[in-house]
Protein backbone atom coordinates (compact mmCIF):
# COMPACT_ATOMS: atom_id res chain seq x y z
CA UNK A 1 0.00 0.00 0.00
CA UNK A 2 2.80 2.37 0.89
CA UNK A 3 4.49 1.60 -2.41
CA UNK A 4 1.24 2.31 -4.25
CA UNK A 5 0.84 5.65 -2.50
CA UNK A 6 4.46 6.49 -3.28
CA UNK A 7 3.92 5.81 -6.98
CA UNK A 8 0.67 7.82 -6.95
CA UNK A 9 2.51 10.69 -5.31
CA UNK A 10 5.23 10.56 -7.96
CA UNK A 11 2.65 10.56 -10.76
CA UNK A 12 0.80 13.48 -9.20
CA UNK A 13 4.06 15.39 -8.80
CA UNK A 14 5.02 14.74 -12.43
CA UNK A 15 1.61 15.91 -13.66
CA UNK A 16 1.82 19.01 -11.52
CA UNK A 17 5.32 19.78 -12.78
CA UNK A 18 4.32 19.34 -16.41
CA UNK A 19 1.26 21.52 -15.91
CA UNK A 20 3.31 24.28 -14.33
CA UNK A 21 6.14 24.16 -16.87
CA UNK A 22 4.16 23.45 -20.02
CA UNK A 23 3.90 27.14 -21.06
CA UNK A 24 7.66 27.59 -20.69
CA UNK A 25 8.39 24.41 -22.63
CA UNK A 26 6.01 25.45 -25.39
CA UNK A 27 7.58 28.91 -25.52
CA UNK A 28 11.03 27.34 -25.80
CA UNK A 29 9.91 25.21 -28.73
CA UNK A 30 8.31 28.20 -30.44
CA UNK A 31 11.45 30.33 -29.98
CA UNK A 32 13.71 27.57 -31.28
CA UNK A 33 11.49 27.04 -34.30
CA UNK A 34 11.38 30.78 -34.94
CA UNK A 35 15.14 31.07 -34.81
CA UNK A 36 15.53 28.19 -37.24
CA UNK A 37 13.03 29.66 -39.70
CA UNK A 38 14.62 33.09 -39.33
CA UNK A 39 18.07 31.67 -40.01
CA UNK A 40 16.84 29.92 -43.14
CA UNK A 41 15.18 33.08 -44.39
CA UNK A 42 18.26 35.17 -43.64
CA UNK A 43 20.49 32.67 -45.44
CA UNK A 44 18.17 32.65 -48.46
CA UNK A 45 18.23 36.46 -48.50
CA UNK A 46 22.05 36.44 -48.34
CA UNK A 47 22.21 33.99 -51.24
CA UNK A 48 19.94 36.24 -53.32
CA UNK A 49 22.08 39.27 -52.44
CA UNK A 50 25.27 37.47 -53.48
CA UNK A 51 23.75 36.30 -56.76
CA UNK A 52 22.52 39.80 -57.64
CA UNK A 53 25.87 41.34 -56.65
CA UNK A 54 27.74 38.82 -58.82
CA UNK A 55 25.58 39.76 -61.80
CA UNK A 56 26.20 43.47 -61.23
CA UNK A 57 29.94 42.81 -60.94
CA UNK A 58 29.93 41.07 -64.32
CA UNK A 59 28.00 44.02 -65.75
CA UNK A 60 30.65 46.36 -64.31
CA UNK A 61 33.43 44.44 -66.05
CA UNK A 62 31.47 44.52 -69.29
CA UNK A 63 31.06 48.31 -69.01
CA UNK A 64 34.79 48.76 -68.43
CA UNK A 65 35.63 46.54 -71.41
CA UNK A 66 33.58 48.97 -73.52
CA UNK A 67 35.27 51.99 -71.96
CA UNK A 68 32.08 53.09 -70.20
CA UNK A 69 33.68 54.40 -67.03
CA UNK A 70 30.62 56.44 -66.09
CA UNK A 71 28.32 53.42 -66.23
CA UNK A 72 30.84 51.31 -64.32
CA UNK A 73 31.08 54.04 -61.69
CA UNK A 74 27.31 53.97 -61.13
CA UNK A 75 27.40 50.20 -60.73
CA UNK A 76 30.30 50.39 -58.27
CA UNK A 77 28.38 52.93 -56.19
CA UNK A 78 25.26 50.75 -56.24
CA UNK A 79 27.29 47.73 -55.16
CA UNK A 80 28.87 49.63 -52.27
CA UNK A 81 25.54 51.12 -51.15
CA UNK A 82 23.34 48.01 -51.40
CA UNK A 83 25.69 45.03 -51.52
CA UNK A 84 28.62 46.23 -49.44
CA UNK A 85 28.87 43.04 -47.41
CA UNK A 86 29.49 40.91 -50.51
CA UNK A 87 33.00 40.50 -51.97
CA UNK A 88 31.76 41.72 -55.35
CA UNK A 89 31.55 45.27 -54.05
CA UNK A 90 35.30 45.34 -53.38
CA UNK A 91 36.18 43.52 -56.61
CA UNK A 92 34.17 45.95 -58.74
CA UNK A 93 35.87 48.93 -57.08
CA UNK A 94 39.31 47.39 -57.69
CA UNK A 95 38.46 46.82 -61.36
CA UNK A 96 37.44 50.46 -61.76
CA UNK A 97 40.60 51.61 -59.93
CA UNK A 98 42.74 49.61 -62.35
CA UNK A 99 40.87 51.17 -65.27
CA UNK A 100 41.54 54.64 -63.82
CA UNK A 101 45.26 53.91 -63.39
CA UNK A 102 45.55 52.77 -67.00
CA UNK A 103 43.74 55.95 -68.05
CA UNK A 104 46.06 58.18 -66.03
CA UNK A 105 43.40 59.10 -63.45
CA UNK A 106 45.62 58.40 -60.48
CA UNK A 107 43.65 60.56 -58.05
CA UNK A 108 40.40 58.74 -58.81
CA UNK A 109 42.15 55.37 -58.46
CA UNK A 110 43.66 56.36 -55.12
CA UNK A 111 40.26 57.47 -53.83
CA UNK A 112 38.67 54.14 -54.75
CA UNK A 113 41.49 52.16 -53.16
CA UNK A 114 41.31 54.20 -49.97
CA UNK A 115 37.56 53.54 -49.76
CA UNK A 116 38.02 49.80 -50.24
CA UNK A 117 40.82 49.74 -47.67
CA UNK A 118 38.59 51.45 -45.11
CA UNK A 119 35.41 49.44 -45.73
CA UNK A 120 36.48 45.94 -46.75
CA UNK A 121 35.68 43.02 -44.46
CA UNK A 122 38.48 40.87 -45.94
CA UNK A 123 41.89 41.38 -44.23
CA UNK A 124 43.73 39.49 -46.98
CA UNK A 125 42.22 41.75 -49.62
CA UNK A 126 43.15 44.79 -47.53
CA UNK A 127 46.80 43.69 -47.71
CA UNK A 128 46.66 43.67 -51.52
CA UNK A 129 44.78 46.98 -51.68
CA UNK A 130 47.31 48.70 -49.39
CA UNK A 131 50.16 47.69 -51.68
CA UNK A 132 48.31 48.92 -54.79
CA UNK A 133 47.49 52.20 -53.08
CA UNK A 134 51.17 52.76 -52.21
CA UNK A 135 52.15 52.19 -55.83
CA UNK A 136 49.54 54.69 -57.02
CA UNK A 137 50.70 57.23 -54.45
CA UNK A 138 54.26 56.77 -55.63
CA UNK A 139 53.15 57.34 -59.22
CA UNK A 140 51.45 60.55 -58.03
CA UNK A 141 54.77 61.69 -56.56
CA UNK A 142 53.45 61.39 -52.99
CA UNK A 143 56.42 59.55 -51.53
CA UNK A 144 55.63 60.32 -47.89
CA UNK A 145 52.02 59.17 -48.28
CA UNK A 146 53.22 55.97 -49.92
CA UNK A 147 55.62 55.27 -47.05
CA UNK A 148 52.83 55.86 -44.54
CA UNK A 149 50.60 53.43 -46.42
CA UNK A 150 53.36 50.81 -46.42
CA UNK A 151 54.07 51.30 -42.72
CA UNK A 152 51.55 48.59 -41.76
CA UNK A 153 53.57 45.86 -43.47
CA UNK A 154 51.92 42.49 -42.91
CA UNK A 155 53.68 39.29 -42.03
CA UNK A 156 53.67 36.51 -44.59
CA UNK A 157 53.94 36.38 -48.34
CA UNK A 158 53.21 40.09 -48.84
CA UNK A 159 56.16 41.33 -46.75
CA UNK A 160 58.79 41.09 -49.54
CA UNK A 161 56.54 43.01 -51.94
CA UNK A 162 56.06 45.75 -49.35
CA UNK A 163 59.82 45.98 -48.82
CA UNK A 164 60.42 46.12 -52.58
CA UNK A 165 58.03 49.04 -53.10
CA UNK A 166 59.39 50.78 -50.01
CA UNK A 167 62.86 50.59 -51.58
CA UNK A 168 61.54 52.18 -54.78
CA UNK A 169 59.94 55.03 -52.83
CA UNK A 170 63.05 55.64 -50.74
CA UNK A 171 65.15 55.83 -53.89
CA UNK A 172 62.71 58.43 -55.26
CA UNK A 173 63.45 60.46 -52.14
CA UNK A 174 67.19 60.13 -52.74
CA UNK A 175 67.76 57.74 -49.84
CA UNK A 176 70.03 55.21 -51.55
CA UNK A 177 71.11 53.52 -48.32
CA UNK A 178 67.49 53.10 -47.25
CA UNK A 179 66.54 51.73 -50.66
CA UNK A 180 69.34 49.15 -50.56
CA UNK A 181 68.34 48.08 -47.05
CA UNK A 182 64.70 47.64 -48.10
CA UNK A 183 65.60 45.62 -51.19
CA UNK A 184 67.94 43.40 -49.19
CA UNK A 185 65.07 42.87 -46.74
CA UNK A 186 62.89 41.78 -49.66
CA UNK A 187 65.49 39.24 -50.75
CA UNK A 188 66.10 38.00 -47.21
CA UNK A 189 62.53 36.71 -46.92
CA UNK A 190 61.86 33.13 -47.93
CA UNK A 191 58.43 34.10 -49.26
CA UNK A 192 58.09 34.40 -53.03
CA UNK A 193 56.29 37.73 -53.12
CA UNK A 194 58.67 39.56 -55.47
CA UNK A 195 60.64 39.09 -58.67
CA UNK A 196 63.97 38.30 -57.06
CA UNK A 197 65.98 38.78 -60.26
CA UNK A 198 64.54 42.29 -60.71
CA UNK A 199 65.35 43.22 -57.11
CA UNK A 200 68.90 41.93 -57.54
CA UNK A 201 69.26 44.10 -60.64
CA UNK A 202 68.10 47.14 -58.68
CA UNK A 203 70.70 46.46 -56.01
CA UNK A 204 73.44 45.90 -58.59
CA UNK A 205 72.58 49.16 -60.36
CA UNK A 206 72.77 51.14 -57.12
CA UNK A 207 75.57 49.37 -55.29
CA UNK A 208 79.12 50.56 -56.15
CA UNK A 209 81.20 47.82 -57.79
CA UNK A 210 83.90 46.32 -55.58
CA UNK A 211 87.28 48.01 -55.90
CA UNK A 212 89.68 46.14 -58.16
CA UNK A 213 92.95 45.13 -56.48
CA UNK A 214 95.99 47.15 -57.63
CA UNK A 215 98.12 45.43 -60.25
CA UNK A 216 101.54 44.36 -58.94
CA UNK A 217 104.46 46.54 -60.02
CA UNK A 218 106.48 45.20 -62.95
CA UNK A 219 109.91 43.86 -61.92
CA UNK A 220 112.91 46.13 -62.72
CA UNK A 221 114.82 45.24 -65.91
CA UNK A 222 118.28 43.68 -65.24
CA UNK A 223 121.29 45.96 -65.81
CA UNK A 224 123.02 45.59 -69.20
CA UNK A 225 126.50 43.92 -69.02
CA UNK A 226 129.50 46.21 -69.51
CA UNK A 227 131.05 46.20 -73.02
CA UNK A 228 134.51 44.49 -73.19
CA UNK A 229 137.50 46.87 -73.38
CA UNK A 230 139.09 47.34 -76.86
CA UNK A 231 142.65 46.04 -77.46
CA UNK A 232 145.31 48.48 -76.29
CA UNK A 233 142.89 50.36 -74.07
CA UNK A 234 143.20 50.45 -70.37
CA UNK A 235 140.35 48.87 -68.59
Three-class secondary structure assignment of the chain: CHHHHHHHHHHHHHHHHHHHHHHHHHHHHHHHHHHHHHHHHHHHHHHHHHHHHHHHHHHHHHHHHCCCHHHHHHHHHHHHHHCCCCHHHHHHHHHHHHHHHHCCCHHHHHHHHHHHHHHCCCHHHHHHHHHHHHHHHHHCCCHHHHHHHHCCCCCCCCHHHHHHHHHHHHHHCCCHHHHHHHHHHHHHCCCCCCCHHHHHHHHHHHCCCCCCCCCCCCCCCCCCCCCCCCCCCCC
- Asked whether the CA dihedral 152, 81, 46, 97 is positive or negative, the reply is negative
The vertex-17 CA angle with 12 and 21, nearest 5°, equals 155
Q: What is the pLDDT of residues 64-87, one digit of tens each?
A: 999 999 999 999 999 999 888 888
Among the listed residues 172, 169, 166, the one whose alpha carbon sits nearest the alpha carbon of residue 194: 166
What is the structure's pLDDT at 101?
Answer: 95
Given a cut of 90, is residue 182 above it in pLDDT?
A: yes
pLDDT tens digit sequence for 197-223: 999 999 999 887 665 565 565 565 555
Model confidence at 110, pLDDT cuts 50, 70, 90, reads very high
| Span of 70-84, 88-102, 182-196, 212-226 with lowest mean pLDDT | 212-226
Kindly report the backbone phi and psi dihedral angles of residue 23, in degrees, each rounded to the nearest multiple of 5, phi listed first: -60, -40
Amino acid sequence: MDEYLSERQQIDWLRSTLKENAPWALASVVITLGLFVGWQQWKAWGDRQAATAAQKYETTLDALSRGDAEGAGRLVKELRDSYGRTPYSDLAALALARFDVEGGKLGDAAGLLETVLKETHDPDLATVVRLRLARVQRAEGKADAALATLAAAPAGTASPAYADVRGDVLLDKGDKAGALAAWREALASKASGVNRELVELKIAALEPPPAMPAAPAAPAAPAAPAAPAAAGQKP
